[in-house]
Structure 1
Amino acid sequence: MANVSLVIVSHSKQLGEGLVKLLRQVAPGVDIHEAAGLGDELGTDATAIMAALQQCPNTHDILVFFDLGSAAMNAEMALELVPPSVAERTRIVDAPLVEGAVAAAVAARSQLPLDDVMQQAETARIMQKRLG
């Protein structure tokens, strides 16, 4: 299986859960976690992100995808809370949440190297969705 885990950080619990469900269907076997929402409220929480990071296998690199700027800020705070062995294998990806995560999940499923998985995710920013 892939040696890359994905962590989805969203302000919306429903969006995070729905995206994880989609990713697990398009890339079965890839390790995927979510840290989304604040119960019934919108928001993100550094301690929830920290917990998701720590659920990833210790043999995996970790890519964090986020929806809005404050989610990235909380992901950065989470990296300060986790042990160095987790932080050093984690990268926060600057890519569109849905398209980037899908591209990364498919690349991880194909067992591409980490840099290629990240490149696939980041390239999703310029992906044309419509033909013609």
Structure 2
Amino acid sequence: MSAGPLVGIVLVSHSAQVAESVAELARGLAGGGTVAPVAPAGGTPDGGLGTSADLILAAAAAADRGAGVALLADLGSSVLTVKALLEDGELPPGSRLVDAPFVEGAVAAVVAASAGADLEAVVAVAGEAYAYRKA
């Protein structure tokens, strides 16, 4: 675990309400104390459904504290937009797209980042959420 800046988390969804709600849930489940920066990037600038590179960039800048930024995306164009931003070098240094289920991965990522985990550990813990079985 790191004693320095916390890894930032960006939640990219086609819906602003989904991104904001998952961010609220993850923050709440991270417990008391310091919570890693979590920034939702959902929907389009006019409030519609979709994906916005500008909203993702703004959220990444807001979540970046110098320890890396883990980006979780819900589906389709949100994943493709994050990949394009990474390929173009537009996101903060140390940004990573996380292959994880959106809700469970977000909770795991925020809990781990809030505990001081480094970017590699946050990415790993979020990805492990695929193994959570409900039945």
TM-score by length of 1: 0.86
Q: Which residue does the alignment assign to 1:41?
A: 48
5+ residue gaps, structure 2: none
Q: Shift of the alpha carbon at 1:116?
A: 1.7
Measured in 2, the distance between the counterparts of 1:50 and 1:117 equals 20
Q: What SS class does the counterpart of residue 6 from structure 1 fall into?
A: strand
Q: Aligned pair in 2 of structure 1 residues 125, 59: CA closer, same or farther (>3 Å)?
A: same
Distance apart, 1:114 and its partner CA: 2.1
Give the corresponding residue for 1:71: 78
SS at match of 1:20: helix
Give 5+ residue unaligned stretches, structure 1: none
1:27-83 alpha-carbon deviations (Å, 9 max, x no partner): 252100011012332101111111111223342210000000210111123332626
Q: Pairwise mapping of residues 94-113 of structure 1 onto structure 2 (< 5 A)?
A: 94-113=99-118
Give identity over the alignment, percent: 35
Residue matched to 2:12: 9
| 1: CA distance, partners of 2:62 / 2:122 | 20
Structure 2 Cα separation of the partners of residues 31 and 105 of structure 1:
8
Where in structure 1 do 4 or more consecutive aligned residues deviate above 3 Å?
Answer: none
Matched, 1:24 2:27: yes
Structure 2 CA distance for partners of 1:2 and 1:128, relative to 1, 3 Å: farther
- SS of the equivalent of 2:41 reads strand
Number of equivalences: 127
* Deviation at residue 2 of structure 1 after TM alignment: 5.5
Hey, what's the Cα distance between the residues in 2 that align with 1:76 and 1:57?
A: 18
Residues 48 and 78 (structure 1), Cα distance of their counterparts in 2 relative to 1, 3 Å cut: farther
Structure 1 position 23, deviation (Å): 1.5
- Counterpart of 1:60 (choices 49, 67, 81) is 67
1:89 aligns with 2:89: no
1:8 and 1:20 in contact (8 A); partners too: yes
8 Å CA contact 2:8, 2:69 repeated in 1: yes
Q: Does the 8 Å CA contact 1:2/1:30 hold for their aligned counterparts?
A: no
Q: Is 1:128 paired with 2:125? A: no
